[in-house]
């Protein structure tokens, strides 16, 4: 169902007719000419169990405010897209400058999903693209779609969570069926599944993988797990925002480029439910969608991606013009230049009672596949940075209450202003400052947490279905020393931060170049990075410029050597 609300019956009729023309018979278009009539319709649909995909309403209604109505619609119909409509103003522009404060507030507080002025002449130009984008997102979440795998297992089994999380972060479509559900029992019977070896992953061709590793899933999905060559112009380590940007620019500028990624496209940013401050996306964009767009872009430009390999060593090839990356299984690949963009990992709490429940109610990073499983439950998010705020807002769409635990005395110290405002106005998100987790309990899954007030040292036992931990990050660079110089926390030193005593050449290091000439670092793994998606993308892009300067040096050195040998 699509609901169009406005104060002018003729205006509402025109919009509804345009939507009917394009989206019937898949959607039925309903109308209301007041807030009261719209609320009555919303209640009727809810009681009847009808699926509401989108509500489009004027900002100003004869008896109410359109933003308030959208909030009421979201309470009754979770997941329905919210489209705010504005009258075209005297300037006849696509941005309603006369109503800009209201639009800015609604957007900043996450009260709308999209907006549009109504002065369209051709609905193909303004109306349909906005509505289609919203309906596509709704359909992916609520209607049957393309599925590659069906998974049967226990919701809170860490092995099952790892499989589902791996597929989710890599954008592989699947359906999960608990073993004790009707669909789960049917799949066990139809495919003769061995319930003692769950989780079972059923491929689209009917074959079954039991407790598959990421390597087995990658092979099953046709993903390359070995480089196609032994030597490349550029090897990028990590497929987060910095690595993807380096891959796009490296491949587009003619470098034979290989990207090595151990687990997931997008890194930590790829798990963000919504990034609202990324350039060029006024309505925000999901981290996974942004990452997969970049992956497709890099792939089409010629970059090669290899997954599931853990890099454990960096060395030279003996001739001095190649860098060799060694894999955990003994294999290796060489390149004339390397970009280290492996990112960081969330720091562990180090509490034994919680560590043993990792994947069974205790999660490090964003909600991912677990959000639906905590519907109606009490959940906690630990952390005070943007990733924690985004996770809390995402979980609030499903959980009964989300409590954000922050060690410090203010959200503003580590979180973007727009996220702070959204957290503050979300009714089922509570913020507890000066609070830390010191313990937990549970048998096969998490049941509760022990919280401590850092000022009074008083502790409190609270029930918890899940806790998502995002308490700072550690670089994954243990294997790099002493090949490149690191700071005391393991972040890679680059450019002017490289100590003179560690730099072997007469020239200064190029921007983002490490203490090893020809090896560069970008994104969160680099000392001094700003820890923002846009910053990582910028660093990855600019680093390729330094790579070109380095490769030019190599070519000049080779030419001089050739002339010297000829002489």
Give the tens place of pLDDT for each residue, 438-476.
999 998 899 999 999 999 999 999 999 999 998 877 898
- What pLDDT is stored for residue 493 in this prediction? 97
- What pLDDT is stored for residue 204 in this prediction? 86
- What pLDDT is stored for residue 203 in this prediction? 92
- SS3 category, 83: strand
Distance between CA 264 and CA 262 in Å, rounded?
7
For 231-345+474-561, the fitting CATH number among 1.10.287.950, 3.90.1170.50, 3.30.70.1150, 3.50.50.60 is: 3.50.50.60
φ, ψ of residue 339 in degrees (nearest 5): -115, 120
Distance between CA 406 and CA 48 in Å, rounded?
41
Instruction: Give how far the C-alpha of residue 245 lies from the chain's centroid of Cα atoms, to the nearest Å.
Output: 16
- What pLDDT is stored for residue 92 in this prediction? 79
- What pLDDT is stored for residue 367 in this prediction? 61
pTM of the model: 0.85
3-state percent breakdown (helix, strand, coil) of the chain, nearest 5: 35, 25, 40
Could you tell me if 480 and 527 are in contact, meaning their C-beta atoms sit under 8 angstroms apart?
A: no
Domain 2-142 sits in CATH at 3.40.50.2300
- What pLDDT is stored for residue 319 in this prediction? 67
Burial of 103 (0-12, 13-18, 19+ CB in 10 A): buried
- SS3 category, 383: coil
Copy the structure tokens of residue 353.
């009672």
Could you tell me if 224 and 307 are in contact, meaning their C-beta atoms sit under 8 angstroms apart?
A: yes
Could you tell me if 142 and 79 are in contact, meaning their C-beta atoms sit under 8 angstroms apart?
A: yes
* pLDDT tens for each residue of 94-147: 888 888 899 988 887 888 999 999 888 889 999 999 999 999 988 987 887 788
Could you state, in order of their start, the residue ranges of all structural domains in the chain?
2-142, 149-220, 231-345+474-561, 352-471
- What pLDDT is stored for residue 318 in this prediction? 64
- What pLDDT is stored for residue 368 in this prediction? 67
* Domain covering 149-220: architecture: 3-Layer(aba) Sandwich (3.40)
The region that residue 449 occupies, defined by phi over 0 for left and psi between -120 and 50 for alpha, beta otherwise, is beta
- What pLDDT is stored for residue 558 in this prediction? 83
Domain 352-471 sits in CATH at 3.50.50.60
Which residue stretches of the chain have pLDDT < 70?
Answer: 318-319, 367-368
Could you tell me if 219 and 323 are in contact, meaning their C-beta atoms sit under 8 angstroms apart?
A: no
Burial of 318 (0-12, 13-18, 19+ CB in 10 A): exposed
CATH fold match for the domains 231-345+474-561 and 352-471:
yes
């Amino acid at each position: 169902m699509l609901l169009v609300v406005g104060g002018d019956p003729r205006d509402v009729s025109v919009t509804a007719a345009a939507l009917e023309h394009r989206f019937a018979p898949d959607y039925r278009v309903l109308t209301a000419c007041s807030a009261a009539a719209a609320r009555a319709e919303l209640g009727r649909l809810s009681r009847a169990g009808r699926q509401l995909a989108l509500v489009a309403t004027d900002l100003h209604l004869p008896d109410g405010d359109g933003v308030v109505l959208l909030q009421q619609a979201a309470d009754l119909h979770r997941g329905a897209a919210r489209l705010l409509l504005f009258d075209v103003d005297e300037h006849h522009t696509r941005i309603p400058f006369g109503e800009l404060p209201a639009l800015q507030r609604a957007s900043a507080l996450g009260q709308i999903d999209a907006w549009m002025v109504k002065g369209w002449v051709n609905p193909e130009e303004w109306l349909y693209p906005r509505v289609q984008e919203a309906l596509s997102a709704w359909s992916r979440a609520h209607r049957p779609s393309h599925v590659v795998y069906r998974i049967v297992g226990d919701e809170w089994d860490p092995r099952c969570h790892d499989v589902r999380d791996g597929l989710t972060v890599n954008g592989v479509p699947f359906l999960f069926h608990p073993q004790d559900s009707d669909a789960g029992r049917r799949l066990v019977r139809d495919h003769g599944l061995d319930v003692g070896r769950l989780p079972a992953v059923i491929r689209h061709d009917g074959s079954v993988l039991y407790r598959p590793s990421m390597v087995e899933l990658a092979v099953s999905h046709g993903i390359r797990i070995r480089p196609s060559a032994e030597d490349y112009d550029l090897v990028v380590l990590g497929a987060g925002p910095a690595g993807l940007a380096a891959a796009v620019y490296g491949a587009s500028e003619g470098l034979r480029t290989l990207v090595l990624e151990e687990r997931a496209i997008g890194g930590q940013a790829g798990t963000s439910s919504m990034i609202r401050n990324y350039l060029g996306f006024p309505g925000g964009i999901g981290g996974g969608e942004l990452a997969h767009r970049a992956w497709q872009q890099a792939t089409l430009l010629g970059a090669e991606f290899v997954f599931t390999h853990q890099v454990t060593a960096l060395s030279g090839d003996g001739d001095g013009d190649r860098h060799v990356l060694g894999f955990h299984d003994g294999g290796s690949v060489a390149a004339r230049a390397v970009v280290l963009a492996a990112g960081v990992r969330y720091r562990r709490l180090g509490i034994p009672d919680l560590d043993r429940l990792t994947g069974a109610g205790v999660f490090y990073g964003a909600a991912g596949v677990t959000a639906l499983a905590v519907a109606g439950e009490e959940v906690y998010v630990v952390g005070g940075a943007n990733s924690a705020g985004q996770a809390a807002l995402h979980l609030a769409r499903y959980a009964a209450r989300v409590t954000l635990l922050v060690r410090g005395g203010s959200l503003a110290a580590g979180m973007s202003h727009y996220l702070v405002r959204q957290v503050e106005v979300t009714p089922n998100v509570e913020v507890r400052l000066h609070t830390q987790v010191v313990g937990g309990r549970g048998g096969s899954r998490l049941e509760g947490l022990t919280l401590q007030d850092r000022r009074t040292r008083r502790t409190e036992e609270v029930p918890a279905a899940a806790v998502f931990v995002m308490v700072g990050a550690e670089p994954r660079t243990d294997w790099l020393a002493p090949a490149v110089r690191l700071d005391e926390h393991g972040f890679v030193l680059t450019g002017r931060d490289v100590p003179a005593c560690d730099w072997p050449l007469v020239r200064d290091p190029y921007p983002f170049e490490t203490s090893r000439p020809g090896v560069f670092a970008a994104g969160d793994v680099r000392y001094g990075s700003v820890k923002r998606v846009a910053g990582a993308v910028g660093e990855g892009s600019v680093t390729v410029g330094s790579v070109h300067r380095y490769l030019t040096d190599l070519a000049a050195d080779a030419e001089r050597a050739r002339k010297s040998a000829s002489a």
